[in-house]
Structure 1
Amino acid sequence: MGIQSTLAEGEHVVLNLRTHVKALFGAIALFVVLLAAAVALVVLLPESSARGWILLAGGVVLLVVLVGWVLLPFLRWVTSRYTVTNRRLITRSGILTRTGRDIPLYRINDVSYEKSLTDRLLGCGTLVISDATDKAGVTLHDVPRVEQVQVVLHDLLFSADDGSDDGEFPPREPRRRLR
């Protein structure tokens, strides 16, 4: 069931994001190490009566590590989405148990971002969204093009603040507020 089936009448998707592939760098590096370890185990293990059992035990250990530290992070990455519509922010994640949160745009008080040196080099960052509820705000890690996403969210927030809900995108130029 896609996100399109959950949209209300007049609501449309503005941004549909997955976390940056940076989230998988550790899993990819571990996969390469596991592959090298498996090849080394097969090639370097001397012929003996216990070779079969050692290969089996090594294969089981490698398989457990592969599933736990390579496959699961990949599945988490594939099943996590950040979606911004003209009316709300939608987060969905989970492999077996799906979790999600919807925040109407009119409830969002502040949108800021954080970028480490690595994030700046890779073109991603962390988006921090504060809303007007009792729950803690939302922190979206490894958002690609985080500065552009922040600008789009601000444009949507200001267009919602001007009293219009015509759902156009890009939003009209917001009215200037006196401070």
Structure 2
Amino acid sequence: MPPQAQPPLGSSPAQATDELFFEGIAKHSANFGTYMWWVGVCILGGGIAFGLLQIEALKDKPMWLLALIGTPMLLWAYLQHITTRYKISRRRVEFQKGVITRRLDSLELWRVLDVRYEQSVLDRIFDNAKITLIGTDQTHPSLLLYGLPNHRYLFERLREAVQFARSNNRPMELAPGAHDGGAEVFGHHHH
């Protein structure tokens, strides 16, 4: 029995064609740096406000507003984070982003050359990782998936799926001589 006929474990044959590995948003800890930056800006603003309040002329002015200086950006960073959704399946990675205008992008896995996995020291602490899909396409040379849950599992699945897609799921135009009369040429040799 050819090995391809075997559906992957734990999935029905129907799902095997486009199994979903992950759908949702990245973990908030992936955005920790950005959040901390704007919290820092707020703290700094608060410090400046405190200093300015020591000045007699400014005592009764609403200096405390400086402490909120980073808040809109903090909120914006949060909104950007929760509106970036990923859908990763055996065939493609789709991601939509945009707080005000939505943009949906997708990368077919057969266009991916390589999958890389990186973890910095900070990433280990927060249990995050960078998964980079390096594509053949000039428009999306690479796609970074950062801070997704189950990143190790996701990386393994993506690597297998890419290898599988590159060997099996090539669109017909790319297979040389698949349907431009290659078979007939063989036919002539038998005479």
Fold match by TM threshold 0.5? yes
1: CA distance, partners of 2:81 / 2:112: 25
| Cα displacement string for residues 63-86 of structure 1 (whole angstroms, at most 9, x for unaligned residues) | 332112x11111111111222123
CA contact (8 A) 1:24 1:73 kept: no
Q: How many residues align structurally?
A: 150
2: CA distance, partners of 1:106 / 1:26: 33
| Cα displacement string for residues 145-171 of structure 1 (whole angstroms, at most 9, x for unaligned residues) | 43221101123234435647xxxxxxx
For residue 94 of structure 2, give the secondary structure of its aligned residue in structure 1. strand
Letter in 1 for 2:68: L
TM-score, normalised via structure 2 length: 0.61
- Is 1:148 matched up with 2:153? yes
Letter in 1 for 2:94: I
Letter in 1 for 2:30: K
Query: Could you tell me which residue of structure 1 aligns to residue 72 of structure 2?
Result: 67
Select which of 93, 96, 103 maps to 1:92: 96
- Is 1:19 matched up with 2:23? no
Query: Could you tell me which residue of structure 1 aligns to residue 131 of structure 2?
Result: 127
TM-score, normalised via structure 1 length: 0.65
Letter in 1 for 2:26: T
CA contact (8 A) 2:97 2:103 kept: yes
CA contact (8 A) 1:24 1:74 kept: no
CA contact (8 A) 2:23 2:87 kept: yes
| Cα displacement string for residues 39-77 of structure 1 (whole angstroms, at most 9, x for unaligned residues) | 9968xx57x785442x2x431x33332112x11111111
- CA offset at residue 94 of structure 1? 1.7
For residue 92 of structure 1, give the secondary structure of its aligned residue in structure 2. strand
- CA offset at residue 30 of structure 1? 4.6
Query: Could you tell me which residue of structure 2 aligns to residue 157 of structure 1?
Result: 162
- CA offset at residue 28 of structure 1? 4.7
| Identical pairs, percent | 18
Query: Could you tell me which residue of structure 2 aligns to residue 138 of structure 1?
Result: 143
Output the aligned Cα RMSD: 3.4
- What stretches of structure 1 of length at least 5 have no aligned partner? 1-9, 165-179
- What stretches of structure 2 of length at least 5 have no aligned partner? 1-16, 170-191
Which of these two proteins has the greater Rg computed from alpha carbons? 2
In terms of mean alpha carbon deviation, does 134-143 or 71-80 score higher? 134-143
CA contact (8 A) 2:23 2:88 kept: yes
In terms of mean alpha carbon deviation, does 23-32 or 80-89 score higher? 23-32
